[in-house]
């Protein structure tokens, strides 16, 4: 018996996703829940990053996770081992989640007694950038093997994210990745983006990301009087 | 002055992409052109693989390349150094190419005096799998750092591809990648898929892919009497 359920998400009927996303952000404030939308290419390390982050923050906050995938439940299975409340969302072939699909997931997970929810979006640098999920903040992972030119090729993703984790820095000796050039390209698109070079596998650099997220959630909760 | 041009692709108006794709495949046969649609996640190594493949095959075939990206021309710039005829296609935010968009690219590139054309699709494991481009065959690259579980998460891509290159095998010591498990997952979805473990960077394993592609194009040309 698995300790998570699988929900098949329906395609949205709402015409104005941006308005629906703003509405969802307000609903989340009402519930005192901070939602972080985590995006990346396939295999950049979203699930490993989440596993480590949940273990680091689970004494500070009550954490839930929505794992969005076209198919399979391997990520929900992995994340459920942290003890966090988890739901696997199947998007039925859809390449992204919009606000209404995210709301369906939140109902399935239940926001009750949660402070922080992670949405692990579909692995894709294109479409998820185009649809506001209604999350409080957006974060993305770029992994070193993908290359430092990705801000040039997928500019919207870097533009809409509040935080950028550059993951797999432990593998840097194997790849020609120019951290300064990558950071400059990301900052040119988005001067306020917070950049965290990390290895989710070894833990290197992760403390800075935990500290940022701890501050984010604490400030959010203080602002809404929680 | 660059030796390639940049074409802004328009969204298609055709309702039946599958029919249009079949039509394009027939048009290509009429012209004696073999079109290989190459897909992968961002940063899996499409451009490096193409560069090496063009250099290996350019004495056998007259080669053209269409580089599809949402933005930037870094790939066309790299590929143009091989001497192949190259065009950069900008998809205007679109996450994939369909048959009509591919046809626009072919007109921009010109199929005259070409035997083999590569379409480097948008870096995305989701949407490009859903749209038949009209290519003669489909190939994909999965890179070792992405993980061996990708066939479970992106099954359609593995189902529609004739060839699977597992790239960056030189970095395998850094990653827990189970080649046998990955191959079994891909073969379960697609028993006929040809699998090539390669390192486009070091050249390891690439000869087998060149041989496959040489055979493919030669048989195709023989079948249409070229």
Q: Is the pLDDT confidence value at B9 over 80?
A: no
- pLDDT over threshold 60, residue B182: yes
The interface predicted TM-score (ipTM) is 0.87
> How many contacts does A have with B, using Cβ atoms within 8 A?
111
* Cα–Cα distance for residue pair B85/A105, rounded to 1 Å: 47
pLDDT over 90 for what percent of chain B? Answer: 85
Instruction: Nearest by CB to B152, from A71, A95, A147: name it.
Output: A71
pLDDT for B7 = 79
A152: chain B residues, CB-CB within 8 Å = 71-72, 74
Q: Residues A126, A44: contact at Cβ < 8 Å?
A: no
Mean local confidence (pLDDT), B83-99: 90
Helix (H, G, I), strand (E, B) or coil at B67: strand
Instruction: Calculate mean pLDDT across residues B175-183.
Output: 95
Contact B70, B91 (CB under 8 A): yes
**Within its chain, how far is the Cα of A87 from the centroid?**
14
**Partners of residue A42 in chain B, C-beta under 8 Å:** 41, 125, 146, 150, 153-154
Q: For position B14, what pLDDT does the model report?
A: 65
Spatial separation of the C-alpha atoms in residues B147 and A83, rounded to whole Å: 24
The pLDDT score that the predictor gives to residue B161 is 98
How is chain A split into domains, by residue range?
A: 9-223
**A152-185, pLDDT tens digit by residue?**
999 999 999 999 999 999 999 889 899 999 999 9
First to last CA, chain B: 35
Measure A65 CA to nearest chain B CA, in Å.
18
Interatomic CA distance for residues B55 and A78, integer angstroms = 43
Residues from chain A contacting residue B51 (CB–CB below 8 Å): none
pLDDT at A164: 98
Beta carbons within 10 angstroms of residue A2's beta carbon: 11
What count of Cα atoms within 13 Å lies in the side-chain half-sphere of residue B128? Answer: 31
Contact across the interface for B43 and A147, Cβ inside 8 Å: yes
The pLDDT tens digits along chain A (226 residues) read 466 777 877 766 667 999 999 999 999 999 999 999 999 999 999 999 999 999 999 999 999 999 998 888 889 999 999 999 999 999 877 889 999 999 999 999 999 999 999 999 999 999 999 999 999 999 999 999 999 999 999 999 999 999 999 999 999 988 989 999 999 999 999 999 999 999 999 999 999 999 999 999 999 999 999 8
pTM of this structure: 0.91
Give the model confidence (pLDDT) of B153-176 as tens digits.
Answer: 999 999 999 999 999 999 998 898
Q: Within 10 A of A113 (CB to CB), how many other CB atoms are there? A: 10
| Separation of alpha carbons B191 and B184, rounded Å | 9
**CATH dotted code for A9-223:** 3.40.50.300
- Chain A residues closer than 8 Å to B42 by CB: 41, 125, 146, 150, 153-154
Residue A8 confidence (pLDDT) = 78
């Amino acid at each position: 018996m698995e300790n998570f359920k699988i929900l098949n998400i329906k395609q949205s009927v709402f015409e104005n996703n941006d308005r629906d996303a703003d509405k969802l952000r307000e609903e989340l404030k009402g519930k005192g829940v901070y939602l972080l939308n985590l995006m990346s290419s396939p295999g950049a390390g979203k699930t490993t990053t989440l596993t480590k982050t949940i273990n680091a923050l689970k004494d500070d906050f009550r954490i839930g996770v929505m794992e969005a995938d076209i198919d399979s439940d391997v990520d929900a299975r992995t994340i459920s081992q942290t003890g966090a409340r988890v739901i696997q969302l199947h998007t039925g072939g859809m390449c992204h989640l919009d606000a209404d699909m995210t709301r369906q997931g939140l109902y399935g997970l239940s926001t009750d007694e949660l402070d922080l929810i992670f949405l692990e979006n579909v692995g894709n640098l294109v479409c998820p950038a185009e649809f506001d999920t209604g999350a409080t903040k957006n974060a993305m992972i770029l992994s070193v093997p993908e290359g430092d030119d990705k801000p040039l090729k997928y500019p919207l993703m870097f533009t809409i994210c509040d935080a950028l984790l550059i993951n797999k820095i432990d593998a840097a000796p194997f790849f020609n990745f120019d951290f300064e050039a990558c950071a400059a390209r990301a900052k040119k698109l988005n001067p306020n983006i917070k950049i965290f070079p990390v290895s989710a596998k070894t833990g290197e650099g992760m403390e800075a990301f935990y500290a940022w997220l701890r501050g984010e959630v604490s400030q959010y909760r203080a602002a809404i009087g929680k």
